[in-house]
Amino acid sequence: MWLAVAAGQLRSAHLAVRDPFRRWHEMMVRWDASYYRAIATTGYPSQLPIDSHGAVTQNVWAFFPAFPFAARLLAAITGLSFETAGVVFNLAAGAVAALCLAELARIAADETTALWTVVLWSLFPTAFVLQVPYSEALYLALASGCLVALVKRRYGVAALLLFVAALTRGHALALAVASIVAAQSAIRDRGTRNTTAIVLLIVALVAPFEMMAFAAAATGRTDAYAATQRAWGYSLDPIEWVRRWPILLAHIGPVDVACLAGLALVAGAAIVAIVRRSLPATLRIYTVAATVLVAATSLPGAVAYTSVPRFAFGIVTMPLMIALAVRSLAVRIGIAVVFAGLQYLWILNIWSGRVGVAP
């Protein structure tokens, strides 16, 4: 809905970056969606692009294959364009994610909490990515399904969902941590007789390296994925991390402050829920791991801080933690209204390119 409203308001507006909101294509294929379209259209390059100094430059190997290939398959079957197929696919994946989130909430609390979990998740400021050709919807469907399977001890199903999720987004690392702990606990209880738990453990140990192996096999370079991430600004050097933070703080703006404050509030809600509620250990471990992962990957120079709320949307249990931490109906309604308003402002100013910062 907000996309349509913003498109009408921005049809003749001047945008700092990106094409105007004049056609469906221009409204959908923006920012990272253009990279997913490139993957769906031409696949991944067999050689990494390099500059005149021999350094790897930014390229599509930074983006995971599950979503663009799924959208490509749907487009081939239906004859739809990539952007239309991607949106249709994501709407279906989002519906699956909503059902799985509701089931997680029922397990952790009750039917009312399940309802509010889905409401808060649907209205989250960056939930609009469920309606555009991004990979979040597919990842959230797989990850929420994996968490349901873990809590219900269906380890074979969890292993399958985790394996595919690891080819969707880097957020699957937190899912792998929760899976390792769950598998180890199951193996301790039943030993080697629990074969599905052993399979889950193996998949969880392999999952964080799937994209690296895929990139290495396709390009012939063992460091293909790491080199690509360096081109996008990520560094494994902790000294580099320390050096970048003062630079960020010297140029931080009000939008950056608001985004970081929002992440802090989400983390605070998670802490309150974990402390005050008796939750399945799997959900506790996943929530902590996912929150730490978002904070750790929000590296200055690698991401725009206006992207942090989108990363936070990838914390599958985030809306459940907010619903558990806030029990007052009035406050829940207030949060939902604020979320809806922020989602509109996000699309109008950030997704559109109106203020010139990345979503």
pLDDT band at 305 (very low <50, low <70, confident <90, very high): low
Q: How many residues make up the chain in this entry?
A: 359
Residue 177 within a domain: yes
Residue 160 within a domain: yes
Residue 358 within a domain: no
C-alpha distances in Å from residue 184, one per residue of 61, 144, 187, 190: 33, 20, 5, 10
The range of the structural domain enclosing residue 244 comes to 16-47+64-215+234-351
* Angstrom distance (rounded) from CA 113 to CA 208: 32
| DSSP per residue, 176-244 | HHHHHHHHHHHHHHHGGG-HHHHHHHHHHHHGGGHHHHHHHHHHS-TTHHHHHHHHTT----HHHHHHH
Q: Strand, coil or helix: what is 78?
A: helix
**pTM assigned to the model:** 0.91
Residue 11 within a domain: no
Q: What is the mean pLDDT of residues 202-212?
A: 96
Tokens of 233: 């600004």
* Angstrom distance (rounded) from CA 277 to CA 5: 39
Structure-derived torsion over alpha carbons of residues 12, 135, 55, 227, reported in degrees to the nearest 10: 160
Angle between helices 281-297 and 254-276 (to 10 degrees): 160
Domain count for the chain, please give it: 1
Per-residue model confidence as pLDDT tens digits over 246-277: 666 666 666 666 666 666 776 776 676 666 66
Residue 268 within a domain: yes
Judge residue 220's burial from the number of C-beta atoms within 10 Å of its C-beta, 0-12 exposed, 13-18 middle, 19 or more buried: exposed
How many C-beta neighbours within 10 Å does residue 62 have? 17
Q: Note the pLDDT of residue 268.
A: 72
Residue 158 has pLDDT above 90, yes or no: yes
* Angstrom distance (rounded) from CA 131 to CA 137: 8
Residue 55 within a domain: no
Average pLDDT, the chain: 86
Residue that has been written with the tokens 């399940």 in this structure: 114
pLDDT band at 359 (very low <50, low <70, confident <90, very high): confident
pLDDT band at 349 (very low <50, low <70, confident <90, very high): confident
Helix, strand, coil % (nearest 5) of the chain? 75, 0, 25
Q: Note the pLDDT of residue 232.
A: 84
Q: Note the pLDDT of residue 140.
A: 97
Residue 84: partners with Cβ closer than 8 Å, 6 or more residues away: 24, 28, 75
Q: What is the mean pLDDT of residues 100-108?
A: 94
How many C-beta neighbours within 10 Å does residue 125 have? 22
Q: What is the mean pLDDT of residues 115-121?
A: 95
How many C-beta neighbours within 10 Å does residue 58 have? 13
Q: What is the mean pLDDT of residues 24-39?
A: 86
Residue 54 within a domain: no
Please answer whether residues 86 and 27 qualify as being in contact, where contact means their C-beta atoms are separated by less than 8 angstroms: no
pLDDT band at 346 (very low <50, low <70, confident <90, very high): confident
* Angstrom distance (rounded) from CA 220 to CA 222: 7
Q: Note the pLDDT of residue 310.
A: 85
Residue 56 within a domain: no
pLDDT band at 13 (very low <50, low <70, confident <90, very high): low
* Angstrom distance (rounded) from CA 100 to CA 96: 6
Tokens of 124: 């989250």
DSSP code for 303:
B
Tokens of 28: 């959908």
